Amino acid sequence: MAATGGGDIEELVKQITDHPGVQGLIIVNTEGIPIRHTFQEQSRPLAVQYCALFQSLAMKARTAVVELDNNNDLLFLRVRSKKHEVLVAPDTKYLLIVIQRVGNDDNLPINIKKTP
């Protein structure tokens, strides 16, 4: 990932995390390892859990999309619940996961390191 220019990635991360309502961001590689996340260190197990669960869901969604039409491919996935919404952007090498607030609820058990 450093070879592709870390500055661009940092710019992207900052752009996303500065967006109002965004509570977390994870970038996963193909092995399911979070190579970049905005969780605090003690919340790292939660980040790893997000990686495993949403990577699995994204693969399932991709399978479903290709099953319906062979020429199609998954571009984006949103999972919305009563309290928060998770956006998943799959790619060949990486998976981007963004967690954002729904409405005014602010009670997610995630300790996110906020840049002042």
Residues engaged in binding other proteins (CB under 8 A): 53-54, 56-57, 60-61, 64-65, 67-69, 71-84, 86, 102, 109
The least CB distance from residue 22 to other proteins, in Å, is 18
Closest CB to other proteins among residues 71, 104 = 71
The identity of residue 13, as a single letter, is: V
Shorter beta-carbon distance to other proteins: residue 7 or 60: 60
Q: From residue 87, how far is each of 5, 8, 10, 20 by CA, in Å? A: 24, 20, 19, 15
Contact yes or no for 38/17 (Cβ under 8 A)? yes
Task: Report how far residue 56's alpha carbon sits from residue 3's, in angstroms, rounded to the nearest whole number.
Answer: 27
**Shortest approach of other proteins to residue 98 CB, angstroms?**
14
d(CA 109, CA 49): 13
Q: Minimum Å distance from CB 108 to other proteins?
A: 8
Report the nearest approach of other proteins to the CB of residue 73 (Å). 5
* CB-nearer residue toward other proteins: 82 or 92: 82
Which region, left, alpha or beta, applies to residue 65 given φ > 0 means left and ψ of -120 to 50 means alpha? alpha
C-beta closer to other proteins: residue 2 or 68: 68
